[in-house]
Amino acid sequence: MCGLQRRTTVVFLFGCRPLLLRSGADMGRYFHSEVDIKSPWHQVLVAFWQRYPNPHSAHVLTEDVLYREVTPSNHLLSRKLMTKTNRLPGWAERIFPTHMARAVYILEDSIVDPQTNTFITKTWNLNHNTLMTVVERCLFQEDICRPSWTKLRREAWIFSNVYGLARPIQEFGLARFKSNQTKAMRGLEFALTRIQTEAPPHFHNDQEEPPDKHKPLPPQTTPTSSQTPRQCV
Amino acid sequence: MNSVGEACTDLKRDYDQCFNRWFAEKFLKGDRSGDPCTETFRKYQLCVQKAIKEKDIPVDGVEFMGPNKDKPES
């Protein structure tokens, strides 16, 4: 779990007595899900890099790559910065009015390993941490039992340091995370559909061969997510 | 998709197109012949890093894979 640092901060609210913020014993909320995506792993990755914008990502305002490197072991490391809207429930807006003024800055670091067909992402917020921190880890792996499918394991740790309000803040954070991950899956499916249905003029020109080795053609062209048993039959 | 630096969106688009092509056509196919996007990335970064400083976005010194350092699973 993420370590919580001991600190005490005094916050003066309008016309209210000061709130004392200090580390609490609450270890936060944990979320995990496993989803089967009906598209091959390499195609999921191509879609992942192109998923913004999509009809479900209005809350994502900007997206930038800050760093990319191919390591000697042929792993692709990436760092992305995103800004997202900061939507709080009414009761939180009244208590933390300054937090409404700024968007949330989010880093997404990732590692692609084409040797093992695994892709790990780690995403967390850079600001608003005095209110709440959300760390998400995703693992995309080729389904070894069904190579035209991809398994996605998603985990999140949601915690707040606000004394006396950590639990409702974490509950709100968990609810918002669940809503966002539904949008994220729909956004990924949108990008997958777009990639699978459009002609690929982007990916080759007169000098290059058209793609052939990685031509993914699962029986159905529409990607879907579903919960299915994990054992190989 | 917009860049955090309003002036950088076109440069971002150029880089993204180059990267997406290289990723699908080269990297995923095991072609290690080099990175054709170095120059577009350099121009894009000049712009976006300036915007990050102007907006005081706290990205400096943040460890890769951040909280609870992660390693790829085998």
Structure tokens at A21: 């913020």
Interface of B with A (CB under 8 A): 1-5, 8, 12, 15-17, 19-21, 23-25, 27-30, 32, 35, 41, 44-45, 48-49, 52, 57-59, 62, 64-68, 70, 72-74
Core vs surface per residue A173-189: b (16+ CB within 10 A) or e: bbebbeebbebbbbbbb
Between positions 91 and 110 of A, the ones with CB within 8 A of B are 105, 107, 109
Best interface-test mutation with A: which of B10, B28, B31 has the largest number of A CBs within 10 A?
Answer: B28
d(CA A153, CA A34): 5
User: What distance in Å separates residue B19's CA from the closest CA in chain A?
Assistant: 9
The string of pLDDT tens digits covering residues B35-65 is 899 999 999 999 999 999 999 999 999 999 9
| Residues in contact with A187: Cβ distance below 8 Å, sequence separation at least 6, in sequence order | A51, A52, A54, A55, A56, A57
Residue B48 exposure: Cα atoms within 13 Å on the Cβ side: 26
Give the predicted TM-score (pTM) of the model.
Answer: 0.78
Question: Tell me, what amino acid is at A178?
Answer: K
A to B CB pairs, distance under 8 Å: 117
| Per-residue confidence in pLDDT tens, chain A, 233 aa | 333 333 433 333 333 333 444 444 567 899 999 999 999 999 999 999 999 999 999 989 999 999 999 999 999 999 999 999 877 777 777 777 666 667 899 999 999 999 999 999 999 999 988 889 999 999 999 999 999 999 999 999 999 988 888 999 999 999 989 988 999 999 999 999 999 887 554 443 434 444 443 444 433 334 444 444 445 76
- A9-13 contacts: CB < 8 A, separation 24 or more? A9/A130, A13/A95
Does the CA dihedral A143-B27-A120-A127 come out positive or negative?
negative
Instruction: Find chain B residues with C-beta within 8 A of A116's C-beta.
Output: 72, 74
User: What distance in Å separates residue B58's CA from the closest CA in chain A?
Assistant: 7
d(CA A107, CA B44): 18
d(CA A72, CA B74): 17
Q: Report DSSP state, residue A53.
A: S
pLDDT for the residue A90:
77
d(CA A107, CA A137): 12
Whose tokens are 């031509």? That residue is A215
d(CA B2, CA A63): 6
Q: Helix, strand, or coil here: A216?
A: coil
User: What distance in Å separates residue A6's CA from the closest CA in chain B?
Assistant: 17
Q: Is the ipTM of this complex over 0.90?
A: yes
Q: How far is CA B53 from CA A150, B45, B72, in A?
A: 38, 12, 31
Structure tokens at A161: 């340091």
